[in-house]
Amino acid sequence: MDRAINTIEWLAAVFVGIVALNIFVAVVLRKFFDTSIPDAYDFGRMLLGILIFWGIAATSYRGGHITVDLVWTAAGPRMKRVIDVFATLVLLFVVAVQTAMLFDKVRGTYVDNVQTYDLNIPTWPFYAVAWAGDVCAVLLIAIRTYRLIFHPEQLEEVHPEQKADE
């Protein structure tokens, strides 16, 4: 299971590289050669969407997203675990609903045959890749929830006050 988690995290990192490369090449072509990549804006926009949803998958499992630990810090160990489980269940619900809504967007772009402006490339595959990242986020959050409840020692969580102690 950890291998699948690491693969999902690497895919998120690859999408960061693709977005950066797209921007770099577009800027270089525009600045030095007075030309542009056809549909560079559309590709950049859709790749950024893909990056966001795969990034959600990567950060949700590790707990690397932005958190407010004011109440958590003051709580005892048992209450901290309750807060962690509750917060992860809420996150799981929200991302699951988001995934269902994003699937509707994928279906809609496919049915409506939405295409890019210059090259007339269908946009639904980009939306589908973003949706796949969201599905991975739901799976990773579900795994995190399971591990929080039954095997909390398997999570390598570091909270802010633990970082300060090191």
DSSP readout, 122-136? BSHHHHHHHHHHHHH
Angle between helices 40-62 and 2-33 (to 10 degrees): 150
What CA–CA distances, in Å, run from 20 to 16, 83, 102, 129, 138?
Answer: 6, 37, 24, 18, 26
Partnered with residue 122 across adjacent β-strands are: 115
Evaluate whether 8 touches 138 at the Cβ level (below 8 Å): no
| pLDDT for 63 | 67
> Would you say residue 107 has pLDDT above 50?
yes
Q: What is the mean pLDDT of residues 103-108?
A: 95
For the chain, the domains span 2-165
| pLDDT for 65 | 60
> Would you say residue 113 has pLDDT above 60?
yes
Task: For residue range 53-104, list pLDDT tens digits in order.
Answer: 988 888 887 766 656 677 888 888 888 888 888 988 999 999 999 999 999 9
| pLDDT for 110 | 96
Q: Which stretch of DSSP H or E encloses residue 142?
A: helix 124-150
Hey, is 67 helix, strand or coil?
Answer: coil
How far is C-alpha 79 from the chain's CA centre?
A: 28
How far is C-alpha 114 from the chain's CA centre?
A: 24
> Would you say residue 165 has pLDDT above 60?
no
> Would you say residue 137 has pLDDT above 70?
yes
| pLDDT for 15 | 85
| pLDDT for 31 | 92
What distance in Å separates the CA atoms of residue 57 and residue 54, rounded to the nearest whole number? 5
Q: What are the respective helix, strand and coil percentages of the chain, to the nearest 5? A: 80, 0, 20
Q: What is the mean pLDDT of residues 136-146?
A: 91
